[in-house]
Amino acid sequence: MSLFQKSTRKFCHLFTFKGLFASDIAIDLGTANTLVYQKNQGIVLDEPSVVARIKEKGSYVPYAFGKKAKMMLGKTPGEIEAIRPLKDGVIADFKSAEEMLKYFIRSANTKLTVNKPNIIICVPSGSTPVERRAIQDAAESAGANEVFLIEEPMAAAIGAGLPVTEPEGSMVVDIGGGTTEVAIISLGGIVYSRSARVGGDIMDEAIKSYIRENHKLLIGETTAEKIKKSIGSASLPGESNKEGMMVKGRDLVSGMPKEMLLSEHQVAESLIEPVHQIISAIKTALESTPPELSSDIVDKGIVLSGGGGLLRNLGKVISETTKLSVRVADDPLCCVALGSGKVLENMDYFSHVLFKQD
């Protein structure tokens, strides 16, 4: 055998051996969606944070996750239930969250491996030590070698490309499914943060309540989400705007299926309170910001991330209230996942933003 053939065979064996190792991953474990970033691969999974469970011998056993489970919301027979194991950004059902994480980790690492991956997982800035420990434990139980935590607004700011390690203030508002994270960041740390339990889920619930109270029509969670994404707005439109959509549900008076036309004005009216809560959290953060950092924010403005940042006219309403410029991040839905992915790719540089919960 020639020297070249020996070298080639040795390289192939080394390559095959390396292929047996699981890639480290970063997880944006959200109330509405979970995104998984794999080292050197980018975002490899984007699934709804939903678990479908079936009742067996008196207890529920998870059997479907993600998109498949979300399709079952509100449509299951008695022995099956579809649930969201996270509420307000933290774990509400530990067993289901653990099983869901196991499924997502397996989906990200499809090859047979000889080791467990290291995992970075995002937590809300306002979560308690107990809540953070629950998320850390769930990731460890789901098959992690070592688990590191990162606060969501820090990950969002890194994902949005803000100069978080520089001696200048940056303000990020991450509006997720369960929480709105407002943070002032400078020199690689969070100077001030505020977590408000308001987000996309509260907006959906506000739309459902408005339609139920004003039109005696009962609609489901999925329908409310479609309404928000289609004609939702943070500000009341002018009279000339006649945009609307047909909504189907159950008439609370007759009990019969019913269809009605819902206008953009009505949806905006239903969202007044959630939008007000988000603006209130932003104003409180600005009032608590040190003067030197306030001057930086005047120059640079506010960056919105998260799915809630896509609500029509939200940036405009925030700008009118605060008198600051507001922009939506380039990829708001993936900001937190991309930011935690950057940290994963540059662990030495960003090690100071990672921590473990004792």
> Does the pLDDT at position 12 exceed 70?
no
Residue 323, annotated as binding a ligand: no
Architecture of domain 25-154+337-355: 2-Layer Sandwich (3.30)
Residue 225, annotated as binding a ligand: yes
**Which pLDDT value is given to residue 112?**
60
Residue 8, annotated as binding a ligand: no
252: its two tokens: 């609370």
**Which pLDDT value is given to residue 16?**
43
Residue 311, annotated as binding a ligand: no
**Which pLDDT value is given to residue 241?**
60
pTM summary value: 0.88
Q: Which of 123, 105, 147, 136 has its CA nearest to residue 28?
A: 123
CA distance 303 to 173: 6
Residue 199, annotated as binding a ligand: no
**Which pLDDT value is given to residue 77?**
86
* 17: CB partners within 8 A, 6+ apart: none
Q: Which of 148, 138, 162, 159 has its CA nearest to residue 118?
A: 148
**Which pLDDT value is given to residue 13?**
47
Boundaries of CATH 3.30.420.40 in the chain? Answer: 25-154+337-355, 166-198+274-331
Question: Which tens digit of pLDDT belongs to each residue from 317-353?
Answer: 999 999 999 999 999 999 999 999 999 999 999 999 9
Residue 67, annotated as binding a ligand: no
Residue 278, annotated as binding a ligand: no
98: its two tokens: 């653990």
Residue 32, annotated as binding a ligand: yes
Question: Which tens digit of pLDDT belongs to each residue from 202-230?
Answer: 999 999 999 999 999 999 999 999 999 99
> Band of the pLDDT at 291, cuts 50, 70, 90?
very high
Residue 228, annotated as binding a ligand: yes
Residue 177, annotated as binding a ligand: yes
Boundaries of CATH 3.90.640.10 in the chain? Answer: 200-271
CA distance 8 to 10: 5
Mean pLDDT of the residues in the chain: 89
**R_g over Cα of the chain:** 23
Question: Which tens digit of pLDDT belongs to each residue from 25-47?
Answer: 999 999 999 999 999 899 999 99
Q: Which of 229, 223, 177, 181 has its CA nearest to residue 202?
A: 177
Give 319's DSSP letter.
Answer: H
Q: What is 200-271's CATH number, 1.10.760.10, 3.40.710.10, 3.40.50.300, 3.90.640.10? A: 3.90.640.10
Residue 33, annotated as binding a ligand: yes
> Does the pLDDT at position 120 exceed 80?
yes
**Which pLDDT value is given to residue 74?**
84
Strands 42-48 and 180-186: unpaired
> Does the pLDDT at position 270 exceed 80?
yes
> Does the pLDDT at position 5 exceed 60?
no
**Which pLDDT value is given to residue 4?**
45
Question: Which tens digit of pLDDT belongs to each residue from 241-267?
Answer: 667 899 999 999 999 999 999 999 999
Architecture of domain 166-198+274-331: 2-Layer Sandwich (3.30)
* 226: CB partners within 8 A, 6+ apart: none
Residue 308, annotated as binding a ligand: yes
Calculated CA dihedral for residues 285, 286, 287, 290, nearest 10 degrees: 100
CA distance 37 to 150: 14
